Amino acid sequence: YETIEPTNDGYKIVLSNKTVKHQINANMAHNGSLLLTVDKQKSFLCTRQKALNPDFSYHKSPPFSGSLLADDTVTIRGFIEDYDPELYEGTGHVQYLNTLTRFTKTYDHHFEIAPDGRFEVKFRAFSPQMIYFTIEGSTQTRMFIVPGEVQMIGFNATLKQVTLDPRKWEVLNDFEINHYMGNSGLLSEEMLFLLRDYEYNLTTSPRTKALNMESMSQLQYLRWRKRTYTNDYSKMGSFMDKINSSERARQVMNITMKADYIYDIYAYPIRMEGIAQLGSKYIDEMPEMNYNDHQYLLASQYYGIINYMTFFNNHQSLSLYKKARVLNFLDYADNHLIDLADTTLVHDQRLAMSDTRDTDEEFPFADESADYDSAMSENAKTLWEPYNTLVKKYEIMNTDSTRLQRRISELDYAVQAYGNGLTSQMYAMQWMLLFNQNKSLDSAFIQWAKHHITEPVLLNFLLEDHTEKIEAESRYTSYAEGTIFVDSIPSISDSYAFFDEILARFKGKVVYIDFWADWCSPCRAEIKPAAKLKEEYKDKDIVFLYFGMSCKKPDWQKVIMQEQMEGYHYWLDRNQGNVLAGKFGITGIPHYLMVDKSGKILEGQPPRPSNRTEIREKLDELLQP
């Protein structure tokens, strides 16, 4: 500001940004409101409390258009009114989706709050989206961000009241406490208000959708969900008319509802008891989707839709990609037969797949009955029985180049099925990063990407990720000093004597056992927490013993060097891995065991290294004399 001058009933404030100068007159109005007049022309009435039923007619913003992919920094600045450093924890974080990674991947950025209540956080983002914003120990709320923009958020003094007494949230909500500013500030205000009613008041609840997904037959659920979407869309439309929603908020809300609907339809087959098989009627009635519409980037469920598309393509009997993949495998098996009896299996599978009748017509059940669903599942089980038998025998014989070509064929299918637009390129991005989440991309993937991925933001990120992984892989040329490989021990089928022989070496010590693999991201996430644990207990009677499970030995050794994993290491061959999986009930990795000083294996899984407090308490307990 340049000047602040008192007047008879208020103040005159002159603001300047070196380019434009404004005069703002601030006068007290009724009920403690403040009347602001800008340049003696435009007036605003401001209150300390938001309207319970706001009118957003003043929010004039056109819909998003064009490409919504961007690679830029988001800056969020803010303050907490009446901030008390003794009450608040002094930290916060934002949580957002990285558009370019797999659908489940979120990113956290933490920040500190200054003693006067001010804070600032910056992070890299790739698409406009609603993010979660948390003040530790106080509140979690949401705001809309756009890459390249600066956003502001202020929390009024009511936040202090609910932080002191969380029971006050029963009659308050964050719309009454948060105040947004910046380019997308009004959109954040509007979306916070709309989402509250969308999720809790006006539409079908997520719990109802989840319960019906488990209890309804496939076509019963599909048609019920279509009706609820139509009704919910109408209700939200009337509500947005009532509060005079802006064009941009309507756009975000409408695409959010559409994406939620499509997501639920794709998610239905993923059941608690396994993957349900869909009939052609379900597939024919699935909602249409514009695969090149960038608006879907505004909806968080878009990434879930892409993930479930991959499930559909790989696991549904009526998926054209699955049929093509199976035929490709049969050609491979045909050329590598080790048992003449398998010729019959290959023939039977080809014959079963050559029947092009509509499978729905084979079943005399009402299409919305549970019997129809059961019949579809039984039919799929019968259809793929020869194939499943062959896979167990011949998949292990596949070379890396064969598996690579199979993965590339899925990317080719995505381009064919969804067009070479946004969705197919996002599909390809997510799956290339999944196939190579712990290592650099094969050159065949790089060549495919350069040829098919035309969105610059996507291709640049993929190449950047590839370069970072190459650098990580070449950072070390030798193993860490405390790395010890246990020599391979010949084992008899179904015998775990080799395991007892290894443990016998460490009698009198506590042994912390980790079953892991180089390709396993959750396993790799525990390496750094484990390194801190080893440093803390390096002078104690504790042994860290790693078993490489279901992985290739060269890749396993490479990661041990790359991650500088100190400790004892033993690579399990297929038979040894199966024996220990059966003995200890290992259904997934990472899997942990703990052995006390007497050599007794404790029941249940011990805490992971990342469970900082629990694992230390357990180790300290076992180290007691």
Strands 542-548 and 21-28: unpaired
| CATH code of the domain covering residue 562 | 3.40.30.10
What pLDDT sits at residue 103? 39
Q: Where are the alpha helices (DSSP H) in 70-136?
A: none
Asked if 44 and 35 count as a contact pair (C-beta separation under 8 A), the reply is yes
pLDDT digits 0-9 by tens, 87-130: 999 999 998 877 676 533 455 688 999 999 999 999 989 999 99
Q: What angle do CA 404, 406, 409 make, to 5 degrees?
A: 110
**Which of 272, 290, 308 is the last residue before a domain boundary?**
290
188 and 79 part of one domain: yes
Flag whether 390 is in a domain.
Answer: yes
pLDDT digits 0-9 by tens, 12-29: 888 777 788 888 888 887
Q: Which residue has the higher pLDDT, 532 or 361?
A: 532
Asked if 259 and 301 count as a contact pair (C-beta separation under 8 A), the reply is yes
374 and 269 part of one domain: no
514 and 604 part of one domain: yes
505 and 555 part of one domain: yes
Domain that holds residue 121: 65-290
Flag whether 370 is in a domain.
Answer: yes
What pLDDT sits at residue 105? 44
Asked if 448 and 466 count as a contact pair (C-beta separation under 8 A), the reply is no
| Model confidence band, residue 312 (pLDDT cutoffs 50, 70, 90) | very high
Give the relative orientation of helices 385-394 and 370-383 as an angle to the nearest 10 degrees: 40
The pLDDT of residue 422 is above 60: yes
Flag whether 415 is in a domain.
Answer: no
What pLDDT sits at residue 108? 67
Flag whether 295 is in a domain.
Answer: no
| Model confidence band, residue 194 (pLDDT cutoffs 50, 70, 90) | very high
What pLDDT sits at residue 393? 80
What pLDDT sits at residue 365? 55
* SS3 annotation, 137-202: CCEEEEEEECCCCEEEEEECCHHHHHHHCHHHHHCCCHHHCEEEEECCHHHHHHHHHHHHHHHHHH
Q: Can you say whether the dihedral through the CA atoms of 29, 33, 36, 37 is positive or negative?
A: negative
Most confident of 131-135, 206-210, 471-475, 491-495: 131-135
246 and 333 part of one domain: no
- Tell me which DSSP letter residue 209 carries: H
70 and 205 part of one domain: yes
Asked if 359 and 367 count as a contact pair (C-beta separation under 8 A), the reply is no
112 and 24 part of one domain: no
Asked if 502 and 601 count as a contact pair (C-beta separation under 8 A), the reply is no
Question: If you average pLDDT over residues 401-417, what whole number do you get?
Answer: 88
Q: Percent of the chain at pLDDT above 90? A: 53
Mapping DSSP to helix (H, G, I), strand (E, B) and coil, where does residue 46 land? strand
492 and 610 part of one domain: yes
Question: If you average pLDDT over residues 274-282, what whole number do you get?
Answer: 86
Overall domain count for the chain: 4
Q: Fill in the amino acid letter for 1.
A: Y
The pLDDT of residue 161 is above 60: yes
pLDDT digits 0-9 by tens, 215-250: 899 999 999 999 999 999 999 999 999 999 999 999
What pLDDT sits at residue 31? 65
| Model confidence band, residue 615 (pLDDT cutoffs 50, 70, 90) | very high
103 and 183 part of one domain: yes
What pLDDT sits at residue 401? 81
92 and 14 part of one domain: no
| Model confidence band, residue 302 (pLDDT cutoffs 50, 70, 90) | very high
Question: If you average pLDDT over residues 391-411, what whole number do you get?
Answer: 82
- Would you say how long the chain is, in residues? 625
Question: If you average pLDDT over residues 435-456, what whole number do you get?
Answer: 88
Flag whether 417 is in a domain.
Answer: no
Flag whether 466 is in a domain.
Answer: no
**Which of 374, 398, 422 is the last residue before a domain boundary?**
398
| Model confidence band, residue 255 (pLDDT cutoffs 50, 70, 90) | very high
pLDDT digits 0-9 by tens, 363-383: 555 567 778 888 888 888 888
Asked if 547 and 514 count as a contact pair (C-beta separation under 8 A), the reply is yes
Flag whether 477 is in a domain.
Answer: no
The pLDDT of residue 182 is above 60: yes
**Tokens found for residue 442:** 């094969």
Flag whether 309 is in a domain.
Answer: no
Q: Which residue has the higher pLDDT, 474 or 99?
A: 474
The pLDDT of residue 188 is above 90: yes
17 and 159 part of one domain: no
| Lowest-pLDDT range of 50-59, 98-107, 443-452 | 98-107
**Which of 398, 431, 457 is the last residue before a domain boundary?**
398
Q: How crowded is residue 395: how many other Cβ atoms within 10 Å of its Cβ?
A: 13
Question: If you average pLDDT over residues 75-92, what whole number do you get?
Answer: 94
What pLDDT sits at residue 589? 93
What pLDDT sits at residue 273? 67
The whole-chain average pLDDT of the chain stands at 88
162 and 274 part of one domain: yes
What is the C-alpha separation between 469 and 527, in angstroms, rounded? 16
Nearest to 189 by CA among 245, 136, 258: 245
